[in-house]
């Protein structure tokens, strides 16, 4: 039986690529982790459609040119293209923190925008992030939060968070392996 494809949401900085302070603001600074393509390919093959959900207030602050975000998207897609798939859409909240934009994480607005745009069923969907605000966004969206330590968080830290993750992994690669092993066990 053909299984329907499921959505999977990914934070960008610290999950797909190295995070830097203050912002990943140019294509030169967009340093994709060496395991990212393998991890995303595993998820694609396991039946997941991938959506990036990322705060980029550097744009509103005048640090990150909006066209650089587009170049980073193109770089990511060019890395995935040889494997026959793409990120379905990159959602960015470019508003400043103090604007309290409904898209800005920890609010779930970008996940809901993806749901509405693509008619997604969020039931049981995974959200992979590296920060407490990602976990809170996932909780508010009703998705399953997974934390990776390749960004700003470290083991043990999430115990004090209001919205702790369901599970934690060193990187996206281990998270992808865990998801795929669970999914294959269900068939």
- Minimum distance of Mg ion from residue 133's CB (angstroms): 8
The verdict on whether omega for the bond into residue 26 sits within 30 degrees of 0, i.e. cis, is: no
| Minimum CB distance to Mg ion, residue 178 (Å) | 19
Residue least distant from Mg ion (Cβ): 14
- With CB under 5 A as the contact rule, which of the stretches 30-38, 93-101, 129-137, 163-171 interacts with Mg ion? 129-137
136 binds Mg ion (CB under 5 A): no
Identify the residue among 49, 130, 132, 168 touching Mg ion (CB under 5 A). Answer: 130
Is 11 a binding residue for Mg ion by CB under 5 A? The answer is yes
How far is Cα 123 from Cα 143, in angstroms, rounded to an integer?
Answer: 7
Residues 62-101 that bind Mg ion (CB under 5 A): none
* Cα distance between residue 91 and residue 12, in whole Å: 10
Instruction: Tell me whether residue 61 or residue 183 sits nearer to Mg ion (CB atom).
Output: 61
Torsion of CA 91, 93, 94, 98, to 10 degrees: 180
Cα→Cα distances 93→59, 65, 76, 152, Å: 9, 13, 18, 19
Is residue 14 part of the contact set for Mg ion (CB under 5 A)? Answer: yes
122 Cα distance to chain centroid: 15
So which residues are the catalytic ones? Answer: 11, 13
Judged by CB under 5 A, the stretch of 44-52, 80-88, 114-122, 125-133 that binds Mg ion is: 125-133
Structure tokens at 48: 């997941």
Footprint of Mg ion (CB under 5 A) = 11, 13-14, 130, 151
């Amino acid at each position: 039986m053909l299984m329907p494809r499921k959505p999977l949401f990914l934070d960008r900085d610290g999950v797909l690529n190295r995070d830097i302070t203050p912002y990943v603001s140019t294509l030169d600074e967009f340093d994709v982790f060496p395991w990212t393509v393998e991890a995303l390919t595993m998820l694609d093959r396991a039946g997941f459609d991938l959506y990036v959900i990322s705060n980029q207030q550097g744009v509103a602050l005048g640090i990150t040119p909006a066209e650089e975000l587009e170049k980073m998207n193109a770089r990511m897609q060019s890395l995935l293209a040889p494997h026959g798939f793409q990120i379905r859409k990159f959602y960015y909240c470019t508003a400043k923190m103090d604007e309290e934009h409904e898209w800005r994480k920890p609010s779930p607005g970008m996940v809901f925008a993806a749901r509405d745009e693509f008619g997604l069923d969020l039931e049981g969907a995974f959200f992979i992030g590296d920060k407490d605000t990602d976990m809170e966004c996932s909780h508010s969206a009703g998705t399953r939060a997974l934390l990776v330590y390749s960004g700003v968080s470290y083991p043990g830290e999430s115990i004090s968070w209001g919205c702790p993750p369901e599970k934690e992994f060193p990187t996206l690669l281990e998270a992808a392996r865990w998801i795929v092993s669970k999914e294959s066990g269900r068939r």
